[in-house]
Amino acid sequence: LTFVFIGDGASAGSYGYTNSGYSVYEEENERLTESLRTKVSAIKSLSIEIGTEVKNQNKMLSEMDNDFDSAGGLLGATMGRLRTLSRGSQTKLLCYMMLFALFVFFVIYWIIKLR
């Protein structure tokens, strides 16, 4: 059994690796570092693209929210008018409904005829 101490003037070969072996590990580390750097760069660009997409989606959702709010207001006003109509005589309401149905029928007929 032989013990080799670093301070005893041991050769480079007794450290457990040779100079050429050390350079192989160093080259491998450099290669892995470069691979990691490439992957980190790809992840960074992907996260930037995701952030941009999230901002665009939030803007679109905000615009849709505004559109739905205005449509809700319009629908509320229409429902108010229908309530006002329903308070009138039933004959008048039936007449309006028939005229509306007739109008829709002619519009659909005209659209089909133009094809």
pLDDT-derived band at 7, boundaries 50, 70, 90: very low
Q: Given this model, what pLDDT does residue 18 score? A: 52
Which residue type occupies 31?
R
**CB-based contact 84:73 (threshold 8 Å):** no
Tokens standing for residue 77: 């006003």
Tell me the pLDDT tens digit for each residue of 58-101: 999 999 999 889 888 888 888 888 787 667 667 777 888 899 99
pTM over 0.75: no
- Secondary structure of 43-85 in HEC code, one letter for each residue: HHHHHHHHHHHHHHHHHHHHHHHHHHHHHHHHHHHHHHHHHHH
Question: Quick check: 85 and 93 in contact, CB under 8 A?
Answer: yes
Cα 107 to the chain's mean position, in Å? 40
